[in-house]
Amino acid sequence: MKIISIIKQVPDAEARIRATASGIDLEGVTFVIDGMDEYGVEQSLRLRETGLDAELISIALGPKRFEEAIRTSLAMGSDRAIHIETDEALDPITQAKVLANIIKEEGAELVFVGGKEADWDSAALGPAVAEALGWPHSDWTTKLVVSGSSLSVTHDSDEGSETLTLPLPAVVTTQQGLNEPRYPTLPNIMKAKRKELKKLALSDVGSPSGKTQLLRQEIQTKSRLNKVLTGDAAEAAKELARLLHEEAKVI
Amino acid sequence: MILVIAEHSNGSLKKSALELLSAAKGLSDKLGGDVVAAVLGNDVSAVATELAKYTAKVIAVEDAALADVRAEPYTSVVTTLAKNLDAKAVLVSASKSGLSYSARVAMRLDCPLLEDVTSLDVEGTQVIATRFSYLARVTETIKALALPVVISIKPNIFPVVEASASGTVEDKAAGLAATDERVKVGEKAAAKTGRVALDEADIIVTGGRGVGSSEGFAKLVEPLADVLSAGVGATRAVVDAGWRPYSEQVGQTGKTVAPGVYIALGVSGAVQHLSGMNRSKLIVAINKDADAPIFKVADYGIVGDVNDVVPALKEAVSSL
């Protein structure tokens, strides 16, 4: 079975992001593989380690710098990777179409996608890829077992959590709780440098045009009152209650 | 026309449904056409009647396969409604399930998706939305380049509509295909706490590692939440430690909330947590570490031990 993990490279969560008139300035920011995507890479490794005969492929759609995140997935243990290189920030629906074509060509049966992207705060890619392929999907997945030609999963729903069974091929969006992703070891980082990384241009996959246009990006830090009380706990608590009631008028 | 998919749970409308209706009204004023609201489910006649108090046209789609919110049957029904009614916009709540099936609907309609939006506007015939990105640190403005457009609306941001209409309810068949039902739902574990849901709460009281234990939540966080009729939240560290369920987690990997008041007890304020609550209208922090990053985003704060301050705050609030 071929298993594909779709990965992104995003700013480190602790990175300081600046805004300029033309949008977000990512100069000098540390980038990492999206933590949500790591759960998928890890899960594919665990499936193989527990006896599933599988080839593990990482796919990424994004600018040249994504290579680093791709190498991280290879160092974790994926076998090979495909990078569709573009500087265009295509919307998730358009991205999903491009990725679905490659997944079809590869003949994969299971696709992992991070549940929510840490740059666009988007949860659309996984379900959109599934729809483009005509496959079922499980979102916000916290547990996964492959049995024959079907998947048994536990995922988070609006009301709590529930178990699902779905036939393969399928798309699974991953999140915290599914597993604890491993750190690449130094020998594996060295090995990853020799693994196949196939490069494609957006023109190789039909030069799709996006469905949305980004107009502006702003950092709106709400100015806060920063009224901090110290001293006797009971007195401070009483004063806080008064401020919330009389000044802020929220309780 | 503007199609609204109204969410409901246990026989009653969710607050998000009334927020979607106000967003839809704003769009229909500028794009033209009327608003049609649909409820999908197994037994929705009562919810449909309730919804008709708020809007003129309601469509009820009943089918046993819609009892659970599964992406594929919902996608089929919503796509069919959008096509048959020639919808210019399809509005869905940006709940977990809404985010999931709205992406499929946009793909099936081959149209733009505006996801998790916080405001809407129209320029000519193009819909413009704001939404958060980069872990809610950035507000971006995006334009959908075509109609129709699928829009998921972030809960607890748009105003709710008031009951004023006496609308009509029309029943429609779901017309599902066999493949729509290939995902089977097994056991369900409801995270029922009897409290207001985090994405509907006006006030949220969140406990962090500083609360100390699950007993600390019972002793400090819950009683304060009780007197404020607030929802209860937790940080990732607390959920990882098993003190509270994942459904209460606020932050990058949990829920993103923007209540009127967010009260953080023993929360240090890691970036992952801030990204889930930094859009709250008013933030209150209580922490014994005066240098905790949470104080930088707080409107009001107390430097002190939660074990001393919180019971006193509960008393003070009760006696207001």
Within an 8 Å CB–CB cutoff, is residue B308 touching chain A? yes
Rounded Cα distance between B288 and B304, Å, is 4
- My answer on whether B16 and B159 are in the same domain is yes
Residues B88 and B141 in one domain: yes
Is pLDDT above 90 for A13?
A: no
Residue B189 resides in a domain: no
Q: How far is B298 from chain A (nearest CA, A)?
A: 5
The number of domains in chain B is: 2
Considering the domain boundaries, does residue B117 fall inside one? Answer: yes
Residue B96 maps to which CATH number?
Answer: 3.40.50.620
Query: In this model, does residue A15 exceed pLDDT 90?
Result: no
In this predicted structure, what is the pLDDT of residue A158?
Answer: 86
- For residues B202 and B309, membership in a common domain is answered with yes
Instruction: Kindly provide the b/e burial profile for residues A99-118, where b requires at least 16 CB atoms within 10 angstroms of the residue's own CB.
Output: bbbbbeeeebbbbbbbbbbb
Identify whether B113 is part of a domain.
Answer: yes
Give the residue from chain A lying closest to B249, CA to CA.
A176
Give the per-residue pLDDT at B142: 97
Smallest Cα distance from B297 to chain A, Å: 6
Residue carrying structure tokens 């599964």: B70
Measured CA angle at B133 (ends B156, A100), to 5 deg? 105
Question: Is the same domain home to B177 and B34?
Answer: yes
Q: What is the pLDDT of residues A75-132, one digit of tens each?
A: 999 999 999 999 999 999 999 999 999 999 999 999 999 999 999 999 999 999 999 9
Query: Does B177 contact A at CB distance below 8 Å?
Result: no
Minimum distance, in Å, between the CA of residue A153 and any CA atom of chain B: 10
| Per-residue pLDDT reduced to its tens digit, A27-36 | 899 999 999 9
B167 shares its domain with B203: no
Domain boundary among B181, B208, B232: B181
Tokens 């699928």, residue?
A: B150
Q: Say yes or no to pLDDT of A220 above 80.
A: no
- Give the count of beta carbons closer than 10 Å to the beta carbon of residue B270: 19
Distance CA A165, CA A147 (A): 10
Note whether B318 contacts A: Cβ–Cβ < 8 A: no
Question: What pLDDT is recorded for position B58?
Answer: 98
Task: Give the pLDDT confidence score for residue B267 in this predicted structure.
Answer: 98
Share of chain A above pLDDT 90, in %: 86
Answer whether residue B79 is part of any domain: yes
CA–CA distance from B200 to each of A123, B11, B47, B119, B258 (Å)?
A: 20, 17, 18, 17, 9
Q: Which domain holds residue B274?
A: 198-318
Partners of residue B245 in chain A, C-beta under 8 Å: 160
User: Are B27 and B169 members of one domain?
Assistant: yes
Residue carrying the six token digits 């759609």? A61
Q: B190 lies in a domain?
A: no
Answer yes or no: do B152 and B240 share one domain. no
Residue B305 lies in a domain: yes
Domain assignment present for residue B216? The answer is: yes
Share of chain A above pLDDT 70, in %: 100
Nearest to A213 among B143, B246, B260 (CB): B143
Q: State if pTM tops 0.90.
A: yes
For residue B170, give how far its alpha carbon lies from the nearest alpha carbon of chain A (Å): 27
Any bridge partners for residue B240, and if so which? Answer: none
The CATH number for B235's domain is 3.40.50.1220
Rg (CA), chain A: 22
Chain B residues closer than 8 Å to A215 by CB: 128, 140-143
Where is the domain boundary, B128, B149, B181?
Answer: B181
Domains of chain A, CATH where assigned: 2-205 (3.40.50.620), 221-251 (no CATH)
Q: Is the domain of B149 the same as that of B51? A: yes
Domain boundary among B155, B181, B207: B181
Is residue B105 located within the same domain as residue B33?
A: yes
Q: What is the pLDDT of residue B192?
A: 61
Q: Mind spelling out the 3-state secondary structure of A217-244?
A: EECCCCCCCCEEECCCHHHHHHHHHHHH
CA distance B81 to B40: 11
Question: E strand or H helix at A216, and its extent?
Answer: strand A212-218
Each of the 320 residues of chain B gets a pLDDT tens digit; together they read 999 999 999 899 999 999 999 999 999 999 999 999 999 999 999 999 999 999 999 999 999 999 999 999 999 999 999 999 999 999 999 999 999 999 999 999 999 999 999 999 999 999 999 999 998 889 999 999 999 999 999 999 999 999 987 899 999 999 999 999 999 999 998 766 778 889 889 999 999 999 999 999 999 999 999 999 999 999 999 998 999 988 899 998 788 899 999 999 999 999 889 989 999 999 999 999 999 999 999 999 999 999 999 999 999 999 98
CA pair distance B64, B30, nearest whole angstrom:
37
Same domain, B15 and B91: yes
With CB atoms and an 8 Å threshold, state whether A36 touches B309.
no
pLDDT at A68 over 70: yes
Residues B17 and B91 in one domain: yes
Are both B123 and B223 inside the same structural domain? no
* B187: in domain: no
B149 three-class SS:
strand
In this prediction, residue A20 has a pLDDT band, given cuts at 50, 70 and 90, of confident
